[in-house]
Amino acid sequence: MRIIYADNNATTQVAPEVYEAMGPYFTEQYFNPSSMYDAAHTTANALNNARKEIAGHFALEEPKQILFTSCATESNNTAIMGTARANPNRRHIITSSVEHPAVLEVCKDMERNGYKVTFLPVDNDGNLNIDEFIRALSPDTLLVTILHANNESGVIFPIEQLSRLTKETDPSIVFHTDATQSVGKMPIDLRGEFRHVDLLSFSGHKLHAPKGIGALFVRRGTPCRPYMLGGHQEGGRRAGTENVPYIVGLAKALSLSIENMEEDESRIQKLRDRLEAALVEKIPEVQVNGKGAPRLPNTLNIACHYIEGEGILYQLSTHGICASSGSACTSGSLEPSHVLRAMNVPFTAVHGSVRFSLSRYNTEEDVDRIIEVFPEIVANLRKLSPYWDNEKNTPRPDAESMLQQTH
């Protein structure tokens, strides 16, 4: 069965060009880049060149501002904990209620350790309220950590505006953004519109590099203590021997994404828009989560009321279609998505939300197949739903109140 992969916000396939570029650093130039002998110099040069190449894509003149990590989770942990350890006199952090757990859980842990954390709410479209953000900034604020593009809804936050407002209020507040879902999909200029951003996280496996490589941009002069202690790799700011093959892969993947961004992203957006329009037309009682906000061009989060996302995913999977739901199955219980709940998506829809996320490897045929299969799956599941009137093909009049009781 042909696999139709539409779960690219979870991870992406490694681009063949990336795989090829990494090869020699496993088999021939496998040396430790910190070693003194001549043979290792080629490896060290590859590391330096990759750093330069990546820095260039963010318009940075100083490549040393890019630190290599093992993943975006490590980059986020370093940004938050490193900032806190470097500024022990301030105890307030601002974040949003729709962050990835790699930020959210760290912030909750900071709260348990005596920090005050403001988790800013979002409106029904997933947008932040700017006035509320400004009101949250206080003389005790140490750090703002707000994601750029949301992995579930695709909603994009106005990082340029938020970072500028932060610095206008108090230049010593550190501004971090988790740009894991936007790097490679949107242009990011760290000397231009993102010049007020101090720290920025991203990860290789969301942009066709392998899993297990990430990076953190640390603007020169930003107070941020190392999180990983040990050897003095990465200028003493992140201990651990650098993963040169993966770093070479990350640089190649970012270059490919950025060189082809305009063409790829507009093609991907056309595919996403066609998919969205067809599903909305063919399926009654659906809503597109985040529709009213600026969104990533590759992401469609669609809620089908009165059925379970897990059921839809299972059925999709029998057709070889890979997507995600709005719920995370944790320790046997179905937890509705914190992102969709923060967006006030009704319970009838949170559980029936499915995320399709496309990449440059998706084709028109992939979208045709999803359009062919998905409405039928929804119709069949609704036939089994106690909240759906099969005679009239509409929700039962008491469905809303029944669901209120259920939760």
Which spans of this chain sit near ligand PLP (rule: CB under 6 A)?
71-73, 100, 102, 147, 151, 178, 180-181, 203, 214
d(CA 188, CA 56): 11
For ligand PLP, give the closer residue by CB, 53 or 74.
74
For ligand PLP, give the closer residue by CB, 71 or 268.
71
Whether residue 173 contacts residue 167, with contact meaning beta carbons closer than 8 Å, is answered with: yes
For ligand PLP, give the closer residue by CB, 102 or 190.
102
For ligand PLP, give the closer residue by CB, 204 or 352.
204
Using a 10 angstrom Cβ sphere, with 0-12 exposed, 13-18 middle and 19 or more buried, the burial of residue 42 is middle
Least spacing, CB of residue 337 vs ligand PLP, in Å: 13
Least spacing, CB of residue 341 vs ligand PLP, in Å: 17
Does 224 participate in catalysis according to the annotation? no
For ligand PLP, give the closer residue by CB, 185 or 382.
185
Using a 10 angstrom Cβ sphere, with 0-12 exposed, 13-18 middle and 19 or more buried, the burial of residue 246 is buried
Return the DSSP state at 62: -
Q: In this structure, which long-range contacts are made by residues 278-283, counting pairs with CB atoms below 8 Å and at least 24 apart in sequence?
A: 278/371, 279/371, 279/374, 279/375, 282/371, 282/375, 283/374, 283/375, 283/378, 283/379
Return the DSSP state at 66: E
Least spacing, CB of residue 71 vs ligand PLP, in Å: 3
- Alpha helices (H) in 120-243, listed in sequence order: 130-136, 159-169, 233-236
Whether residue 340 contacts residue 348, with contact meaning beta carbons closer than 8 Å, is answered with: no
| Neighbouring C-alpha atoms within 13 Å toward the C-beta of 407 | 15
d(CA 250, CA 66): 12
Least spacing, CB of residue 178 vs ligand PLP, in Å: 5
Spot the catalytic one: 224, 304, 322, 329: 329
Least spacing, CB of residue 55 vs ligand PLP, in Å: 20
Q: Which residues are catalytic?
A: 329
